[in-house]
Structure 1
């Protein structure tokens, strides 16, 4: 097995870098914050310099902590965050519009009559969550200069000079033909992006250039993969029938569907899971919850709790939600509803409602949305999920994870490491460096650190879910 690799996960609220050795585990780790600006009108943006600076900062400090050279590097990215930039100088021409941003709703409205065609081409419904509407909005309202791409293409260019994006990230734009795994001329035309220079679509594992900006010897960049698919890989979900959910700023459930795209009819997204070192394309179904940790942060900002670490302590003061129902649609509702204009709702409040009731209601709301995604996966695949593999910062909450197992009526298996995105792109980097490895060898065996089993029966779970679904239906 090859030596240690540097794995960088450039996320919404921060960048995590790990130096990972297949035999010795994590040798060095560092984080650097990223602070998006949440603006009126559903706008969310970030200074691109902060994205690049966080990658360089976290990467350099992880290398310094490891104290030994690495043989390769991998980069994971946010997926649907976009910006315009000058390909000659690499300088940004706009702020980066973050995946949560809703400003491109007007673009989607204009293309509404082409919704079915774009869904058939790309596997994605019309929604400003995806990259193409934001790219078109930038071209219409901000600048016609330079190139407009997802953030990974810009970061890779700044790090290596290459102009590429991996197939999984490209499949999150709504510009990729899901069958050919190349840019769709028709989708590009519909979005008015026909004259654009788009990055080359590459495998997640390969040779993409050399990083020289981290203060040490040059490092080959051999792994590129969008964040949620990187996490799916790290969980070892490489065959149909299993799924994972990551609880970060949002919550994202992905289920592997094999080597052919499977366009579901239950509101899920069909996209590329990965294309690894010439081994063909794997596909997945993908469902999104827009507000998970961001909903916890909202409750924190209101002073109800002191932070995510307080969920369990505050929730333990009461047995349940006290008939409070929380639909945390604070950034709209994604799959399977696709109601970007939906607003969050809190119902069932009384003078006896306590902070603990609100915490239980929030956990019910997050877990309830994930159950809706799991039900959609089951409908599309024709069989229920037998378990759910999970990761992300919110998996530290026993209350949320137990709530998830109860409402899902299936075991919830918590990953040993919360950093599965970085571990997944580390596996891709190892495959890019040594294509002779099997996927299993590159990923390695990872047993769950804890398994939550349901503690309530199916009838109680269904009653709670019915109340949640009714609240969603009433959400404005």
Structure 2
């Protein structure tokens, strides 16, 4: 009898699906692109039908390649993307507001006096990045009909008919009481969402429903938001380590154990996962634009695509004095200034494409290093190493730059699709309660380790240049 599971990672720019067997590894893969629309004013939307179709397409491709049945389904999601929909028919009532959409900044401005109360309640800073401001914006400006939820609840309903979200995803709304891992009546009241019908908050592993959307009936037994799935796949389940996923954005998470943490360093305090009724927590820091910044350079003709990073960057020895703050969708943790725009400084007539590429890699790496420092400050202990995954980890230039600026080893996941592997682990765990968490996690052997090649003094100087560029943005941009 097969023990393979189907894992689906519904992401910002595409959906990846894997059929994973504990004995034989990845048996099948599938991918379907998603094309969010970037609109003026920092608005980012996606067609819900395209999200759902991408789940079906990627999942069916993976199953076809594997050529065998699966015993369970695990689903990872974008976390903070929201929409309104009809719970009777499943029909979307709005487009999906993607996680880095900024239109709900006005909602946050009206709640500024309650920012610290919300942070203490939910662990999250007040920012339009999270789901609740977008949900409130939809209710104020688009529709009062149906339900308004994160995208996972809609996908789960379309697949199974259930009305559910997992504790980790619910923790990305700013509506979840961080200590109780259930909806907070006070937070709902502050956002004007007190009368809303919200999905039940489930564990991340366990029966949710069944689906025939991929062909044979498959139980859905794993649910989680994408970054926590990757943290799990990296086998980072206890305090002391951190991972960074380099996808559309870059996201650094560090587990903190069974006690919730409110960050004093500008990070988000989150649910990592809830299993068997027990909640584990993590600290979370975000860089809004990583692969999307590479796409931006590609659109300008500097690159032909992400695979071109190392070739173009290798044409020059350094950034040539160019500093890039790639805040193309605003600055997230630890600054929380989503209103900021990016900057490129130090340009000259001798600036080449390679300088821009190296400056981008330095800007991304410097932001991640700031997040690592914030984790170390909150936990009062430095990180020993950073485990990394995601599509951009194929760039040796980026990862070497990361190791240099972090002054710590950077360990690369053997499989870049860590999010899907985390969803697969939860699906197995939910399908077989006799298993322990350690039984379902993939091996965490790194495919490569990047060690720092520059001195601490040089790393400090390069990071100081980046901080100065950020400070100039902060000084000249009104709050």
- Pairwise same-fold verdict (TM > 0.5): yes
Asked if 2 retains the 8 angstrom alpha-carbon contact of 1:2 and 1:430, the reply is no
Deviations 1:384-428 (A, max 9, x none): 111000000100000000000000000000000011000001000
Deviations 1:84-115 (A, max 9, x none): 00000000000000001000000000000000
Tell me if 1:149 matches 2:149: yes
1:425 corresponds to:
423
Compute the displacement of 1:277 (Å): 3.1
2:195 corresponds to:
195
Q: Aligned partners of 1:36, 1:4: CA distance in 2, in Å? A: 32
Q: Aligned partners of 2:445, 2:433: CA distance in 1, in Å? A: 25
Asked if 1 retains the 8 angstrom alpha-carbon contact of 2:2 and 2:70, the reply is no
Once the two structures are superposed, the pairs formed by residues 246-257 of structure 1 within 5 Å of their partners are 246-257=245-256
Aligned residue for 2:125, secondary structure, equals coil
Bigger CA drift: 428-437 or 176-185? 428-437
Aligned residue for 2:80, secondary structure, equals coil
2:360 corresponds to:
362
Pick the aligned partner of 1:445 from 443, 446, 451.
443
Once the two structures are superposed, the pairs formed by residues 89-104 of structure 1 within 5 Å of their partners are 89-104=89-104
Aligned residues: CA RMSD = 0.8
Deviations 1:163-196 (A, max 9, x none): 0000000000000000010000000000000110
Q: Aligned partners of 1:396, 1:116: CA distance in 2, in Å? A: 39
Unaligned runs of 5+ in 2: none
Deviations 1:240-275 (A, max 9, x none): 011000000000000000101011100000000001
1:329 corresponds to:
327
1:298 corresponds to:
296
Once the two structures are superposed, the pairs formed by residues 233-248 of structure 1 within 5 Å of their partners are 233-248=232-247
Compute the displacement of 1:440 (Å): 1.1
Pick the aligned partner of 1:339 from 326, 337, 340.
337
2:73 corresponds to:
73
Q: Aligned partners of 2:443, 2:353: CA distance in 1, in Å? A: 40
Asked if 2 retains the 8 angstrom alpha-carbon contact of 1:273 and 1:281, the reply is yes
Runs of 4+ in structure 1 off by over 3 angstroms are: none
Compute the displacement of 1:64 (Å): 1.0
Once the two structures are superposed, the pairs formed by residues 179-328 of structure 1 within 5 Å of their partners are 179-215=179-215, 217-278=216-277, 280-328=278-326
Tell me if 1:396 matches 2:394: yes
Deviations 1:192-249 (A, max 9, x none): 001100000000000000011112x200000000000000000000000110000000
Once the two structures are superposed, the pairs formed by residues 122-161 of structure 1 within 5 Å of their partners are 122-161=122-161
**How many residues align structurally?**
474
Aligned residue for 1:449, secondary structure, equals strand
1:385 corresponds to:
383
Tell me if 1:106 matches 2:94: no
2:460 corresponds to:
462
Compute the displacement of 1:446 (Å): 2.1
Asked if 2 retains the 8 angstrom alpha-carbon contact of 1:33 and 1:54, the reply is yes
Asked if 2 retains the 8 angstrom alpha-carbon contact of 1:276 and 1:428, the reply is no
Normalised to the residue count of structure 2, the TM-score between the two structures is 0.98
Q: Aligned partners of 1:302, 1:78: CA distance in 2, in Å? A: 27
Compute the displacement of 1:2 (Å): 6.9
Q: Aligned partners of 1:437, 1:99: CA distance in 2, in Å? A: 34
Normalised to the residue count of structure 1, the TM-score between the two structures is 0.99
